[in-house]
Amino acid sequence: MREPRSRADAVRNREAVLDAAEALFVREGLAQVSMNSVAAAAGVGKGTVFRAFTDRAGLLQALAGRRTAPLQEAAAEGPAPLGPGTPPRERIPALLDAVARAKLDNLSLYVALEETGSSSPYRVPSYGWWHGTLRGELEKLTDPAHAGFLAHALLAAVRADLMTHLAVEEGIPAEEIRERLAAYVESALP
Amino acid sequence: MREPRSRADAVRNREAVLDAAEALFVREGLAQVSMNSVAAAAGVGKGTVFRAFTDRAGLLQALAGRRTAPLQEAAAEGPAPLGPGTPPRERIPALLDAVARAKLDNLSLYVALEETGSSSPYRVPSYGWWHGTLRGELEKLTDPAHAGFLAHALLAAVRADLMTHLAVEEGIPAEEIRERLAAYVESALP
DNA sequence: TAGAATGCGGACCGTCGGTCCGTTACGACT
DNA sequence: AGTCGTAACGGACCGACGGTCCGCATTCTA
């Protein structure tokens, strides 16, 4: 049952596609970026892109993983205040602030990501992880029957399209958005 | 400057298209419904659909208006507890519950609606109205600087895709979702 | 009832996500 | 180094989509 090692060119191309795709997303925004244009920008055939990532959603997932892995890792096994072991009253606001911050720094990328899972952010795998983590902490503070919904509601307040609306349409500085969020989380916590 | 009255067949067709489109959305879900299939189901040419509604977003907007008008009207000028004049502590939960209820009763339609505005629910015109109304009430209860964000956050908790996730994926009965939401709103209110 | 204007409808267009398969080049083995 | 099986490449190709266009039919006005 050996893992069949990938060929060198496959690995190289995979990386090139990810780099090109990320650059395109940041520069042009989700809607403008077709699979064709990604392939062209990476200097690679279309078939190669699909071979490596299965479909558009797969490419976005991969892009997501790469970009969000550090944050998720910090939350899963890092030091306080993000990591486990931190008291819930401190960890929950820290987690939400970290998520908001990451999204505010990469608006278009995260908007694209949340539209991946058959156009429902709730089907993106990482959502389940964040929700589970948050619910776990909330269960220490309140009736476990309420923790699930509460976790959903708090995560809804940091959705990428809301962050985009606040930052772009309403023109609120990122700093201020995070402050408002923090105040909100504080008041919503049981 | 007379308003150029529409021809009888145009009015008739417009109605037929709306009926057919609504039926299709409810039965098949957003993704399955192409402009072609709407035209076919309405027994009408594709050009007619586009002439009447400009583009796909326009069709969804029109569908939206028709379906949500009664609720919005009740909230804008109806009797308590939805209408204006109701004390904020009573009106805000009532508004959010009414919205949640409407969405839970028409999941697929509302999911489709919220994806209309260039894939951002915040660009759908009616969102602005709800947000403004809610903010107005919240300003009576708390620091006006916080009211805007708070209104966004509360509305985020009743987004159609979240309602769908809770009701379909997690299989929670509508009754229970509304109870959890009510408890959440209560605790988040200043 | 005639003529103008309005609306109809479906062939047509460019583009998209995704597939297919003949060709290329990698790398394990001798 | 040379051979060869095979994984990976790449772009022509496909069906479906949203949207346009324009010759033709229907409705309204006088």
pLDDT at B4 over 80: no
CA–C1' A46–C21 (A): 14
Mean pLDDT of chain B: 92
DSSP-based three-state secondary structure for B171: coil
For residues A27 and A108, is the Cβ–Cβ distance under 8 A?
A: no
For residues A137 and A158, is the Cβ–Cβ distance under 8 A?
A: no
pLDDT at B3 over 80: no
Contact check, Cβ <8 Å, A164/B31: no
pLDDT at B94 over 80: yes
What per-residue confidence (pLDDT) applies to B1?
A: 44
pLDDT at B29 over 90: no
Mean pLDDT along residues B6-20: 95
Nucleotides of C under 7 A from a protein CB: 6-12, 15-21, 25-28
What per-residue confidence (pLDDT) applies to A125?
A: 82
User: B87 preceded by cis ω (within 30°)?
Assistant: no
For residues B75 and B133, is the Cβ–Cβ distance under 8 A?
A: yes
Sequence-separated contacts (24+) of A44-49 with Cβ below 8 Å: A44/A13, A44/A16, A44/A17, A48/A13, A48/A17, A49/A17
CA–C1' A53–D3 (A): 33
| The two three-digit tokens of residue B64, written as one number | 């939206």
pLDDT digits (tens, 9 = 90+) for A131-190: 999 999 999 999 999 999 999 999 999 999 999 999 999 999 999 999 999 999 999 997
Mean pLDDT along residues B8-23: 96
What per-residue confidence (pLDDT) applies to A3?
A: 59
Position A107 confidence tier, pLDDT thresholds 50, 70, 90:
confident
- Report the residue from A150, A164, A180 with minimal CB separation from B146: A180
CA–C1' A51–C27 (A): 20
What per-residue confidence (pLDDT) applies to B118?
A: 65
DSSP string, chain A: ----PPPHHHHHHHHHHHHHHHHHHHHH-GGG--HHHHHHHHTS-HHHHHHHHSSHHHHHHHHHHHHHHHHHHHHHH--TTTSTTS-HHHHHHHHHHHHHHHHHHTHHHHHHHHTTTTT-GGGSHHHHHHHHHHHHHHHTTS-HHHHHHHHHHHHHTT-HHHHHIIIIIS---HHHHHHHHHHHHHHH--
- The Cα–Cα gap between B76 and B96 comes to 14
Nucleotides of D under 7 A from a protein CB: 7-13, 16-22, 26-29
Closest chain A residue by Cα to residue B30:
A119
For residues B95 and B134, is the Cβ–Cβ distance under 8 A?
A: yes
Task: Give the residue from A190, A157, A167 showing the smallest Cα distance to B154.
Answer: A157
Residue ranges in B29-55 assigned as alpha helix (H): 35-42, 46-53
Phi, psi of B158 (to 5 degrees): -115, 25
pLDDT digits (tens, 9 = 90+) for A120-142: 789 888 899 999 999 999 999 99
pLDDT digits (tens, 9 = 90+) for B111-147: 877 876 666 789 888 899 999 999 999 999 999 999 9
pLDDT digits (tens, 9 = 90+) for A25-35: 888 888 889 99
pLDDT at B175 over 70: yes
pLDDT at A76 over 60: yes
pLDDT digits (tens, 9 = 90+) for A12-57: 999 999 999 999 988 888 888 999 999 999 999 999 999 999 999 8
Specify the residue for token string 């009736």: A143
Mean pLDDT along residues B143-164: 96
Complete domains list, chain A, with CATH: 1-53 (1.10.10.60), 55-188 (1.10.357)
